[in-house]
């Protein structure tokens, strides 16, 4: 079965972001660095050896978030303001999603508080301390 997962780009904060997301969402984290995964024919500058080449967080509920850093020999493109990571679910997920919103609020730029919305869902928004935009929605039924 195909899956669609967010893949987040950072200049050099991928490991810190993935560790934070693991503390919020739980799960198993696997990280490969540029120094630990050398690319044939392409030497890794010393300043890039500890950067994340690929990181993946798999949560117990089946969520997957991937991320990487951008080494000095590549152009960094910041996440677009038009892209948001959405954490959604049904009433059975309310406590998990509310907890994620509260934990991700640490150091975040506030958006919409996680509260009952006019359309009947619980909804909230924020931009986390790493500059990633998040949306939270718990369906009413």
pTM (global) more than 0.75:
yes
- Residue owning tokens 């718990």: 138
37 burial type by CB count under 10 A (0-12 exposed, 13-18 middle, 19+ buried):
exposed
Check residue 93 and give its pLDDT: 96
50-61 pLDDT per residue, tens: 999 999 999 998
Residue 91 and residue 76: Cα distance in Å, rounded?
A: 39
């Amino acid at each position: 079965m195909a899956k669609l997962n967010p893949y987040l780009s950072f200049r050099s904060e991928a490991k810190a972001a993935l560790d934070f997301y693991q503390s919020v969402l739980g799960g198993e984290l696997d990280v490969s660095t540029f120094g630990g995964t050398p690319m044939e024919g392409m030497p890794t500058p010393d300043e890039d050896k500890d950067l994340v080449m690929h990181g993946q967080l798999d949560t117990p509920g089946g969520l997957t978030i991937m991320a990487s850093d951008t080494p000095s020999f590549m152009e960094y493109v910041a996440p677009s303001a038009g892209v948001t990571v959405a954490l959604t679910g049904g009433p059975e997920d309310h406590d998990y999603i509310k907890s994620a919103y509260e934990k991700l609020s640490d150091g975040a730029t506030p958006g919409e508080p996680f509260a009952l919305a006019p359309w009947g869902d619980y909804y909230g928004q924020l931009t986390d301390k790493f500059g990633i935009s998040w949306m939270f929605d718990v369906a009413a039924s």
